[in-house]
Amino acid sequence: MITANDLKTKGIACLEESLADKTEDIITVRGKECFVVMKIEQYRYLREMELEAALFEARQDMASGRISQDTIDQHVDDVFSQ
């Protein structure tokens, strides 16, 4: 774990040191876990997995008929009228 104080005093060097042998770490503020810092490769991987999950969910919705044939305007009206 990286403390906010370490980050304040050591700067980026603190992050580089912490991430030298792992892909992510937690930053604590006053002893509480508050932030996660990670290597860009890990972020890109997680983002790709998030998009893959969304695509899978959309395909499942299409396959089971949970889709709308409304226009975008009709859909927006429906969303905001609820």
Q: Which domain holds residue 24?
A: 2-38
The pLDDT of residue 68 = 82
The pLDDT of residue 46 = 97
Task: Name the one residue in this structure whose structure tokens are 């030298």.
Answer: 20
Specify the number of domains making up the chain.
1
Q: Work out whether the CA dihedral 62, 44, 22, 27 comes out positive or negative.
A: negative
Would you state the structure tokens that stand for residue 76, as one six-digit string? 């927006």
56 in a domain, yes or no? Answer: no
Residues of the chain with pLDDT under 50: none
Q: Parallel, antiparallel, or unpaired: how do β-strands 2-3 and 32-38 relate?
A: unpaired
26 in a domain, yes or no? Answer: yes
The pLDDT of residue 54 = 97
